[in-house]
Amino acid sequence: MDALRRGRLLVVSAAVCWSLAGACVKLARPLDAWQIAGLRSLVAFFFLAIALKLWRARPFLPSLKVTLLALAYASTVLLFIVANTLTTAANAIFLQDTAPVWVMVFAPLMLKEPLRARDLWMLAVCALGMTLFFFDELSPGQRNGNLIALVSGVGFGFVILGMRWGRARTPDPAPPGKAGPEGVEAAPDAASARGGIGKVPDSSNAGPNEAEQLAIWGNLFCFLLCVPVLKMPPATAEYAGPLALIAAMGVFQLGLGYLLLARGIKHVPAMEASLLVLIEPVLNPVWTLLAAGERPSAWALAGGSVIIGTVAFQALRGRS
């Protein structure tokens, strides 16, 4: 298998790992959102710190930029889990995936990147898609869950914007003898930011780069944000299964997903990776339906189709 095909397979595998989040949250009851988010991120922190050799980072403590991005990342993953406990998995993932739209909204203010006239109709279409989620007869909790998921999407958008912060508009040319994305800075789009990747990781034995530190410290910050309200579950048989599931989420659904993307995106152009990871919001409601019997409403499917279609069109245009 050539490098491009292997890279595509790794990126798709990463999206499949992430897509399990909704089903796992539904199956983790009676754990609450703070327990799920905090313990999952704590496990992911240790997994990634070991896998990426955090102790070799120089300097060891994160820079101001990494710290700010890690806090945005932590808020995003925390709010996503909270949203999943209040509304459907489909609503949560579709509304979080509005992130690239928020990038278009805030990029002119934060990065001085102009908003093109042709972007305005895309924003209008996506706004229509977002309103469809509130057409259902929602309980107050579900409505709050939708709003939290939307805020999670805004936070994810700031992570993407942060990955572009201080970065040249055009990537440096590839070294001689290397074509494509290898050896150049990967575009920090929705695909790369999902795993906390702003630069293509190298294969050396050096410590993690800034983008990799973002994922490591972001998960630790998420745990710390949960600590004030985190109640350790009792050591009873009722909680044994859910706790094992949360540990598996930290290792496989979150941590392994990041590592798969880190290796796959080295060989896949950023635009193509953005499209490949759209399998995540497609599969997320499917796994939740099969595992927990939760069916997305017709309005949610309509709104999700509009949002995913908008994001896909944006990726095809090469905008992130």
pLDDT band at 194 (very low <50, low <70, confident <90, very high): low
Those residues whose C-beta lies under 8 Å from the C-beta of residue 14, and which sit 6 or more positions away, are 195, 257, 258, 260, 261, 264, 277
Three-state SS at 170? coil
Lowest mean pLDDT among 9-18, 70-79, 152-161: 152-161
Contact yes or no for 11/261 (Cβ under 8 A): yes
Length reported for the chain: 320
What pTM was estimated for this model as a whole?
0.84
How many Å apart are CA 191 and CA 189, to the nearest integer?
A: 5
Sign of the Cα pseudo-torsion (83, 17, 132, 99, in order): positive
The Cβ of residue 230 has, within 10 Å, a number of other Cβ atoms equal to: 17
Give the pLDDT confidence score for residue 167 in this predicted structure: 52
Higher-confidence residue of 62 and 315: namely 62
Three-state SS at 255? helix
Burial class from Cβ neighbours inside 10 Å (0-12, 13-18, 19+) for residue 16 reads middle
Q: Tell me: the pLDDT tens digits for 238-284?
A: 899 999 999 999 999 999 998 898 888 888 887 788 788 889 999 99
pLDDT at 154 over 70: yes
Is residue 230 within a helix (H) or strand (E), and if so which, with residue range?
Answer: none
pLDDT band at 138 (very low <50, low <70, confident <90, very high): confident
With CA atoms as reference, report the closest residue to 198 among 69, 12, 319.
69
Contact yes or no for 77/45 (Cβ under 8 A): no
Those residues whose C-beta lies under 8 Å from the C-beta of residue 247, and which sit 6 or more positions away, are 39, 43
Higher-confidence residue of 130 and 184: namely 130
pLDDT at 159 over 90: no
Higher-confidence residue of 75 and 57: namely 75
pLDDT band at 193 (very low <50, low <70, confident <90, very high): low
How many Å apart are CA 147 and CA 201, to the nearest integer?
A: 35
* Side-chain half-sphere exposure of 149, counting CA atoms within 13 A: 28
Amino acid at site 137: E
Three-state SS at 174? coil
How many Å apart are CA 96 and CA 90, to the nearest integer?
A: 10
pLDDT band at 117 (very low <50, low <70, confident <90, very high): confident
Give the pLDDT confidence score for residue 23 in this predicted structure: 96
Alpha helices by DSSP H, listed for the chain, are 3-19, 21-27, 33-51, 64-86, 89-96, 99-110, 117-132, 140-164, 190-194, 210-226, 237-248, 257-264, 270-276, 279-292, 298-316
With CA atoms as reference, report the closest residue to 155 among 234, 86, 221, 90.
221
Buried b (16+ CB within 10 A) or exposed e, 97-135: bbbbbbbbbbbeeeeebeeeeebeebeeebeebbebbee
Contact yes or no for 119/104 (Cβ under 8 A): yes
Contact yes or no for 131/80 (Cβ under 8 A): no
* Mean pLDDT of all residues in 67-89: 94
Q: Tell me: the pLDDT tens digits for 90-104?
A: 999 999 988 888 888
Q: Tell me: the pLDDT tens digits for 37-71?
A: 999 999 999 999 999 999 988 888 999 989 999 99
Burial class from Cβ neighbours inside 10 Å (0-12, 13-18, 19+) for residue 282 reads middle
